[in-house]
Amino acid sequence: MEEEIFVVLAGDGVVQLGDEQTPVRPGHVVSRPPATRIPHVFRAGEAGLTYLAYGTREPADICYYPRSNKINFGGVGVIARLEQLDYWDGED
C-alpha cells in the first residue's frame, strides 16, 4: 500500500475524496495515507490545475479504481476491468 502527497502549484479545482469535494488552489497540500479505502480524484477548474504528485511507489501495490471498475496489480504489471464471475467459470 502506498502513501501519496499532492502539492497544488497553479490553477484551481477540487479534490474529491469519496463523495466529498474540497476546493484546492496553489499552496494546498493533500496527503493520502495508505489503505484508507476512500478513492480520490482531482478535477481542474476553468484555469486548469497543476500539481506535483509524490508517492512511495511500492512495487507490489494494488489499486482499485471504482469509477471505471478497474484494478491495478502493480507487482505483476497488470491492469484489468473487473466483472462478476462464477468461481468455476473456465475451470473445465
10 with 51, same domain? yes
53 with 10, same domain? yes
CA distance 28 to 9: 8
Tell me what pLDDT residue 1 has.
67
34 with 74, same domain? no
CA distance 39 to 79: 17
Q: Splitting the chain (92 residues) into consecutive groups of 10 residues, what average pLDDT does each group show?
A: 91 95 97 88 96 87 85 87 87 85
Q: Using the structure block, give the residue that is written with the C-alpha cell 488552489.
A: 25
Number of H helices, E strands in the chain: 0, 7
Q: Which of 81, 83, 62 is nearest to 70 (CA)?
A: 81
37 with 10, same domain? yes
Split into its structural domains, the chain has a count of: 2
19 with 49, same domain? yes
